Amino acid sequence: MTRGIRVKNTDDIQKINKIVTKYGFDIWIHGKSGMVDAKSLLGMFLLSLNEPLQIVLEDDEDPAAVKALFKDLAEYLEIDDED
């Protein structure tokens, strides 16, 4: 499952990282420059912020947990993306 995510600056990186570390499943951020573990603050700082980014989850994650994650990340998510 993927969803577009907006990461504008280092403050966004820190806030997103703090949110995703509350969840017990793998969460990745993918861009043209590669894929990083969203729970790794160091990895998140390797992202190129001037390219489109996607949050990536396994398709078999608990739907309620995914819904809660997306609610927590609402201010960063792209609205028009498909699940």
What is the chain's pLDDT, residue by residue, as a tens digit (83 residues)?
Answer: 999 999 999 999 999 999 999 999 999 999 988 899 999 999 999 988 888 999 999 999 999 999 999 999 999 998 654 44
Question: Residue 64 — φ and ψ, nearest 5°?
Answer: -65, -40
Per the rule left: phi > 0, alpha: psi between -120 and 50, beta: everything else, 66 is alpha
Under 8 Å between Cβ of 19 and 73: yes
Q: What is the pLDDT of residue 37?
A: 97
Residue 49: partners with Cβ closer than 8 Å, 6 or more residues away: 7, 8, 9
Q: pTM (2 decimals)? A: 0.86
| Residues ≥6 apart with Cβ < 8 Å to 37 | 26, 27, 28, 43
Spatial distance between the Cα atoms of 20 and 50, rounded to a whole number of angstroms? 21
Q: What is the pLDDT of residue 53?
A: 94
For residue 82, what pLDDT is reported?
47
